Amino acid sequence: MTTKADLDKALFEGLCRLGDSTLVLGHRVSEWCGLAPVLEEDIALANVALDLIGQTQLWLGLAAEVEGKGRDADELAFRRDVWEFRNLLLVERPNGDFGHTLMRQFLFDAWHQPMLKALEGSGDSRIAGIAAKAGREVAYHLERSADLVIRLGDGTEESHARMQAALDRLWPYTGEMMAGDSTDAALAEAGIMAAPDSIRPVWDALVAEVLGEATLKAPESTFMHKGGKQGQHSEHLGHMLATMQWLQRAYPDATW
């Protein structure tokens, strides 16, 4: 039988998986600041990054509350090391060209939106509340990223080639979003979070539809990387944290 302490531990993990994913993706997107291909994209990217950072404050804030050790969202974001991060591997992929950035966003949004929809039905009202708020923002993220993937996939020969290359490169990082482990199972059983594999049918259908319209082809290989949710990351995350956490680490007694 699962005790309350076990469940809280699982819940802390589950909330960090959500909050770390939005944090890491929000950070990656914010790296584009001032460098997008067109002014409207600078504005849109800042919007997406802002939404994701705002969601991070809510998810990690709740994680800290559930943990009950006196930490807060900032402490979780800025004072944990790589092995304690629980984000998906997909979101820590470097930005690459704008095509990679957009494709990563679309593959994530296509999971994020239905996941939040499912979380709106959580038995924990705090989670349902955050999911409802975030869901409104993410519906727009998905609309935008899907639209751009279609337009660039079915644009010029070069834009098509770049989007296909991005898809090929990022595809092996998508499986982790729908792969559950014992933490996911415990949370699903308690009616607190949706089981990752329950998102699979919606994700498959959405991705197939958009890629079809974009004239892009999903790779045939079924190999999928995993480990991010359990704290086993790529080399890229450490460099991101070195940048992101530098001030907090260098001046630990300061408040900002």
Which residues here bind other proteins, judged by CB under 8 A? 23, 27, 30-31, 33-43, 46-47, 49-50, 53-54, 56-57, 60, 73-74, 77-78, 97-99, 150-152, 154-156, 158-160, 162, 243-244, 246-248, 251, 253-256
Map residue 33 onto helix, strand or coil: coil
Q: Which is nearer to other proteins, 9 or 160 (CB)?
A: 160
Q: Least distance to other proteins from the beta carbon of 38, Å?
A: 6
Q: How far is CA 252 from CA 20, 70, 128, 237, 245, in A?
A: 21, 16, 34, 21, 10
Q: Least distance to other proteins from the beta carbon of 222, Å?
A: 29
Q: Least distance to other proteins from the beta carbon of 98, Å?
A: 5
Q: Which is nearer to other proteins, 78 or 140 (CB)?
A: 78
Q: Least distance to other proteins from the beta carbon of 41, Å?
A: 8
Q: Least distance to other proteins from the beta carbon of 242, Å?
A: 10
Report CA torsion sign: 162, 164, 169, 170: positive
Q: Estimate to the nearest angstrom the gap between the alpha carbon of 173 and the chain centroid.
A: 12
Distance CA(136)–CA(139), nearest Å, equals: 5
**Residue 181 CB: number of other CB atoms within 10 A?**
12
Q: Which is nearer to other proteins, 34 or 70 (CB)?
A: 34
The residue whose two tokens read 């993937």 is 149
Q: Which is nearer to other proteins, 83 or 251 (CB)?
A: 251
Assign 3-class secondary structure to 83-144.
HHCCCCHHHHCCCCCHHHHHHHHHHHHHHHHHHHHHHCCCCCHHHHHHHHHHHHHHHHHHHH
Q: Which is nearer to other proteins, 130 or 186 (CB)?
A: 130
Could you tell me which of 60, 59, 84 has the C-alpha nearest to residue 71?
Answer: 60
Q: Least distance to other proteins from the beta carbon of 168, Å?
A: 17
Cβ proximity of 214 and 149 under 8 Å? yes
Q: Which is nearer to other proteins, 5 or 38 (CB)?
A: 38
